[in-house]
Structures are given as structure tokens and as C-alpha cells.
Amino acid sequence: MEPTKTLLALRGIPGSGKTSLAKAISITNTAPIFSIDSYFEDEVGDYHFDYKKNHLAYKDCETKTKQALELGIPFVIVDNTFTLDWELEPYIRLANEFEYQLHVVTVENRHGGKNVHQIPEEQIEKMKSKYQVVL
């Protein structure tokens, strides 16, 4: 039986722990992690968000994920909010195109985590109200 290739999409509101979970999973299997946030990080890891470049960050994350799947990397992680279906759709298409099993995991903020990207609470509340879960 051929091993299954996996694309893991971690989703949740800012501060839920997506990035921490992605890093913990990656440690055990060296899976690459792709996220929109990484587009806004400089060489030393400082975060500098620019709303005008958000569309570029989405495209960059999708492109890097596609490159990893083209290479056949067996386990790939994408760490984004994915609050709306359209944000997840490109990854569903990529998983189908490259024959990866897609797992979408919602990370809940039960630990009281705070977002580290200075996103206003008002914006987070808007994200929560739009959040879509498919069971």
C-alpha cells in the first residue's frame, strides 16, 4: 500500500495557537509550514503587516504550498485563519490536483492565547462572526 501524502490546513482566529501547533507537528516530521503571516516577517522574524500587500501574501502562501506538493513532499502544513470558505478553496484544489489527503483542523483558543500581530479585538470579533465550520 502506497503511503498517503497529507496536506494539513490549520485554521483558527488570531491567537488560537495555529502557529505553535504547526511548529510542534513539524518538529516530529520536518514538514514545511506555509502561512500568510510569514510573508510579513523579516529575516529576524519581526512581523510588519501591510494590508495593501495582503493579496500578495495569500498568493505567496498558495504558490509555496503548490511548489511543495509538486515536489511530492509527503506532509505539508498550511497555517492560516481560513475563516471563510474562499480562503480554503485553493488548498482543496491543490490537494485534489496533486493527490494529497486534505485534513482541516480548527484550533480553538481554550488556553486564552493572545494574537501577537496587534490585530484589533474588533477585527477578531468580526472574524469570529464570519467563521464557517463544515462538519
What per-residue confidence (pLDDT) applies to 102? 96
pLDDT in tens, 45-74: 888 888 889 899 999 999 999 999 999 999
Mean pLDDT, range 20-36, rounded to an integer: 94
Cα(125)–Cα(13) distance, integer angstroms: 9
Order across the sheet with 33-34: list the strands. Answer: 33-34, 75-79, 6-11, 101-106
Residues paired with residue 41 on neighbouring β-strands, in sequence order: 47
| pLDDT at position 3 | 66
Q: Which residues contact 65 (CB under 8 A, 6 or more apart)?
A: 7, 34, 76, 78, 91, 94
Cell reading at 79: 497555517
* pLDDT 10s digits, 71-119: 999 999 999 989 888 899 999 999 999 999 999 999 987 777 777 666 7
